[in-house]
Chains A and B, each alone.
Chain A
């Protein structure tokens, strides 16, 4: 907790205190993913970063919520034509569209979150979700009394499997005998927004002995975490800090600081030191972490905290290597 805060502050401080090279006039813009701005998760995280930037700088930010995939390209191009700069593309599904539009507008700066587009005018921000998931996996294994732990993913795509894979490694790290039960909510984007089905899946897992469940499923997670509360089981939130949803049954949340990514991109552009290339934000960089606050401090014993902090230190220092599912489309190295 302190650690990520620390690195975040460093990041912010760096951008704010950077030499004031003639504060450029920025006209930032965001194209959200099809989940929409208020998905209580990923897009909403970006939106929080955008709102913070607007509040601090009073600079208006153009925003667009596409309703289908074709509109990605259309929206990115329209923003570029209007000289919006920088433009953030939220979500891996915009990669193809951005690749095309970024080539058409080499002087506009683009940032894509959750995917890599290898162009000089594109900044790619990806997260090591497996590392954060590893940590909450350690916590889950330590908190579980039955030795059975649940994972409910959203849409079955590689990204979600990366969460699941990191989580599994964390569990095995803390308790090699623990068992992980995995469910995916669906195979269409609707899976990100189906709390009812999420709750059903979670209850199914509880019936099979699960007592800690990790909800990596966007808005669907709301139902999963609610079900955990109703059954007196433990839930783990995702993306933003969701501990406040159900104090007392929220074991922790896996934090993915997309808000920071968006905010930093805008601030860097404003300061004139925006850089292209790929940023991989892991534990070390403060891009992912686990959440500990007053809502869950009673659930995390000093011993548990010790074990998690040790794992975290190991990952940061490189003594623990968390395998990335997407490196070989498999959870085995």
Chain B
């Protein structure tokens, strides 16, 4: 007597893994969100429509979605690079803050002195330098003193915040101003906004915060990809992340690689300052990192620490941020706290619970083939 058992569940086809699984995840999230929205007495389909249209329904909303995505790309990449080296950089918030200080100081100091074609790259470099510098201290403490980088980077977020408040309130504040903000940047230090650029090219779109920093973000995605997978330095960095023993065996200097990884990471986070200050606010303001540094952790996890994945995750996060804003705008009974719940659920399903529907899909495919 031979009992035939059900065939084991094989792996999913690649296209199902890449396309179907994420879609099912998002759909599941929307179902749960819909139930919750219905409970507070709102038509879930109406809310969903507003959320989607709010994110991609007009050139203005697309602009804001991409603008938010730019920030998420920078911080997501920052977390991903450090993660490949086995380092958990929770200090993106502070590095973004100080990076913004860097580009802000450069523009404030040289705004009226040097032309824009020289100033903008210089200020971007300053943002990278300051961000990297802020990450270098925890990296140094980890490499030479053994202080855990998670702790030190968190502490450095607070230090950055305190430092910025001190500088803004006491040093950099525009004279006679009520607001703790610096004087406005000279126009030569602005990153052109996308609607101005496209208008000049004859394509009129609505005004939004989107600016050419997104090009920098995309270049960063590419640069991270090249660095991690196509240079010996990136190879050594990944080796260290997977197995420090193997890295030592291969002759990699762990201390130096830790510094390189964290400085690279900090520089990427510092670019948030470029997008926010040079691209949007055109002055140094308080609190512009607004949680992007922390959200970067989720973006990197969801994007599986791959630049392409980070890019897609950043787009989703950007769309949720923008769609959520519109949702709160259009339906007064959906408060901003409710929006955070909705965003959190979608991220939970498409990030943390990404493998939840896998067995169901596997059954489905197993029974079909």
Using A65-B328, A187-B161 as known contacts, say yes or no to A74 and B64 having CB atoms under 8 A apart: yes
Bound Cα distance from A67 to B325, whole angstroms: 9
**Minimum distance in angstroms from A64 CB to a CB of chain B:** 6
The reply to whether A64 and B328 contact each other, CB–CB distance below 8 Å, is yes
Q: Which residues of B contact A71 (CB under 8 A)?
A: 325
Bound Cα distance from A96 to B181, whole angstroms: 9
The reply to whether A188 and B178 contact each other, CB–CB distance below 8 Å, is no
Using A96-B281, A187-B161 as known contacts, say yes or no to A69 and B178 having CB atoms under 8 A apart: no
The reply to whether A67 and B339 contact each other, CB–CB distance below 8 Å, is yes
The reply to whether A329 and B173 contact each other, CB–CB distance below 8 Å, is yes
Bound Cα distance from A327 to B325, whole angstroms: 36
Which among A62, A67, A78, A115 has the highest number of chain B CB atoms within 10 Å?
A67
A212 on interface, CB distance cutoff 8 Å: no
**Minimum distance in angstroms from A280 CB to a CB of chain B:** 12
**Minimum distance in angstroms from A193 CB to a CB of chain B:** 13
B291 on interface, CB distance cutoff 8 Å: yes
Interface footprint category on B: 35 or more
Q: Which residues of A contact B340 (CB under 8 A)?
A: 67
The reply to whether A69 and B325 contact each other, CB–CB distance below 8 Å, is no
The reply to whether B336 and A65 contact each other, CB–CB distance below 8 Å, is yes
A293 on interface, CB distance cutoff 8 Å: no
The 8 Å CB contact of A126, one of B170, B178, B332, B335, is B178
The 8 Å CB contact of A159, one of B175, B178, B326, is B178
Q: Which residues of B contact A157 (CB under 8 A)?
A: 165, 169, 180
A158 on interface, CB distance cutoff 8 Å: yes
The 0/1 profile, CB within 8 Å of B marked 1, for residues 77-99 of chain A is 11000000000000011011000
A1 on interface, CB distance cutoff 8 Å: no
The reply to whether B161 and A326 contact each other, CB–CB distance below 8 Å, is no
The reply to whether A104 and B207 contact each other, CB–CB distance below 8 Å, is yes
A66 on interface, CB distance cutoff 8 Å: yes
Bound Cα distance from A187 to B94, whole angstroms: 14
Bound Cα distance from A156 to B161, whole angstroms: 12
**Minimum distance in angstroms from B315 CB to a CB of chain A:** 17
Give chain A interface residues in 82-137, CB to chain B under 8 Å: 92-93, 95-96, 104, 114-116, 126
Q: Which residues of A contact B161 (CB under 8 A)?
A: 187-188
Which among B286, B336, B340 has the highest number of chain A CB atoms within 10 Å?
B336
User: Which residue on B lies nearest to A159, using beta carbons?
Assistant: B178
**Minimum distance in angstroms from A27 CB to a CB of chain B:** 14
B162 on interface, CB distance cutoff 8 Å: yes
User: Which residue on B lies nearest to A78, using beta carbons?
Assistant: B329
Q: Which residues of B contact A232 (CB under 8 A)?
A: none
The reply to whether A115 and B339 contact each other, CB–CB distance below 8 Å, is no
A155 on interface, CB distance cutoff 8 Å: yes
B147 on interface, CB distance cutoff 8 Å: no
The reply to whether B290 and A326 contact each other, CB–CB distance below 8 Å, is no
Bound Cα distance from A331 to B267, whole angstroms: 39
The reply to whether B165 and A67 contact each other, CB–CB distance below 8 Å, is no
The reply to whether B207 and A187 contact each other, CB–CB distance below 8 Å, is no
Using A70-B290, A104-B207 as known contacts, say yes or no to A63 and B332 having CB atoms under 8 A apart: yes
The reply to whether A114 and B178 contact each other, CB–CB distance below 8 Å, is yes
The 8 Å CB contact of A96, one of B209, B285, B287, is B285
The 0/1 profile, CB within 8 Å of A marked 1, for residues 179-200 of chain B is 1110000000000000000000
Bound Cα distance from A95 to B339, whole angstroms: 25
Give chain B interface residues in 275-294, CB to chain A under 8 Å: 276, 280-281, 283, 285-288, 290-291
B363 on interface, CB distance cutoff 8 Å: no
Q: Which residues of A contact B287 (CB under 8 A)?
A: 68-69, 188-189
User: Which residue on B lies nearest to A67, using beta carbons?
Assistant: B336
Bound Cα distance from A202 to B215, whole angstroms: 50
B222 on interface, CB distance cutoff 8 Å: no
Q: Which residues of A contact B175 (CB under 8 A)?
A: 329
The reply to whether A155 and B165 contact each other, CB–CB distance below 8 Å, is yes
A211 on interface, CB distance cutoff 8 Å: no
A75 on interface, CB distance cutoff 8 Å: yes
The reply to whether B169 and A158 contact each other, CB–CB distance below 8 Å, is yes
Give chain A interface residues in 137-182, CB to chain B under 8 Å: 155-159
The 8 Å CB contact of A158, one of B178, B276, B332, is B178
Q: Which residues of A contact B283 (CB under 8 A)?
A: 96
The reply to whether A158 and B173 contact each other, CB–CB distance below 8 Å, is yes
Q: Which residues of A contact B180 (CB under 8 A)?
A: 157-158
Q: Which residues of B contact A75 (CB under 8 A)?
A: 325, 329
The reply to whether B178 and A92 contact each other, CB–CB distance below 8 Å, is yes
B45 on interface, CB distance cutoff 8 Å: no
Bound Cα distance from A71 to B335, whole angstroms: 14
The reply to whether B285 and A68 contact each other, CB–CB distance below 8 Å, is no
**Minimum distance in angstroms from B338 CB to a CB of chain A:** 11
B166 on interface, CB distance cutoff 8 Å: yes
A247 on interface, CB distance cutoff 8 Å: no
A239 on interface, CB distance cutoff 8 Å: no
A73 on interface, CB distance cutoff 8 Å: yes
User: Which residue on B lies nearest to A161, using beta carbons?
Assistant: B169
**Minimum distance in angstroms from A100 CB to a CB of chain B:** 9
Bound Cα distance from A18 to B340, whole angstroms: 44
The 0/1 profile, CB within 8 Å of B marked 1, for residues 18-38 of chain A is 000000000000000000100
User: Which residue on B lies nearest to A94, using beta carbons?
Assistant: B179
Q: Which residues of A contact B281 (CB under 8 A)?
A: 69, 96
Bound Cα distance from A187 to B165, whole angstroms: 6
User: Which residue on A lies nearest to B68, using beta carbons?
Assistant: A70
The 8 Å CB contact of A116, one of B178, B276, B326, is B178
Assuming A67-B325, A67-B336, A157-B180, what are 20 further A-B pairs, CB within 8 angstroms? A36-B336, A64-B329, A66-B325, A69-B285, A70-B276, A70-B280, A70-B290, A71-B325, A73-B209, A75-B329, A93-B285, A96-B179, A96-B181, A115-B178, A157-B165, A157-B169, A159-B178, A188-B161, A188-B287, A327-B176
A-B contact pairs, 17 of them (CB 8 A): A36-B336, A64-B329, A65-B336, A67-B339, A69-B287, A70-B280, A77-B207, A93-B286, A95-B179, A96-B283, A126-B178, A155-B165, A156-B165, A157-B180, A158-B180, A189-B287, A326-B176
Residues of B within 8 A of A (CB): 64, 67-68, 161-162, 165-166, 169-170, 173, 175-176, 178-181, 207, 209, 276, 280-281, 283, 285-288, 290-291, 325-326, 328-329, 332, 335-336, 339-340
Q: Which 10 A-B pairs have the closest CB atoms?
A: A187-B165, A68-B290, A187-B162, A67-B336, A92-B179, A115-B178, A65-B336, A92-B178, A188-B161, A157-B180
